Amino acid sequence: MDVYEVFKRSGHKEPFAHAGAVIAPDSEMALIMAKECFLRRREGEHLWVTRRSDIHSFSDESLLEIAADKSYRFPEAYRDVVTKREKAKVRAKEVMAERNAS
């Protein structure tokens, strides 16, 4: 017997998400059991199972931390675009006024 991890997807637009695990002797039986254990109320439209031993993870998950400043990867870093836009518009008005004057 093996532990099989169970993943379900609720619709075509969603990614698969982990739902739980079942104990079964093979993938065929794992699917049948997972269907009733996790989707008996139709909580998903698609189902995957995979043997736990086929899943790999970092033994030290602190590796996933972002140690340095990576704020530029996030939208919050560009929030001041609003004030920059206003400054740019003021500058544009000056330029356009000069252009019209000449």
Question: Which residues in this chain contact other proteins in the complex, by CB under 8 A?
Answer: 12-15, 46, 63, 65, 67-70, 72-75, 77-78, 80-81, 84-85, 87-93, 95-96, 99
Neighbours of 34 (CB within 10 A): 25
For other proteins, the closer of residues 23 and 77 by Cβ is: 77
How near is the Cβ of 24 to other proteins at its closest, in Å? 23
What Å distances lie between residue 30 and 36, 45, 52, 59, CA to CA?
Answer: 10, 17, 12, 26
Beta bridge pairs of residue 18: 7
How near is the Cβ of 94 to other proteins at its closest, in Å? 9
How near is the Cβ of 25 to other proteins at its closest, in Å? 25
Instruction: Give the span between the Cα atoms of 30 and 97, in whole angstroms.
Output: 74
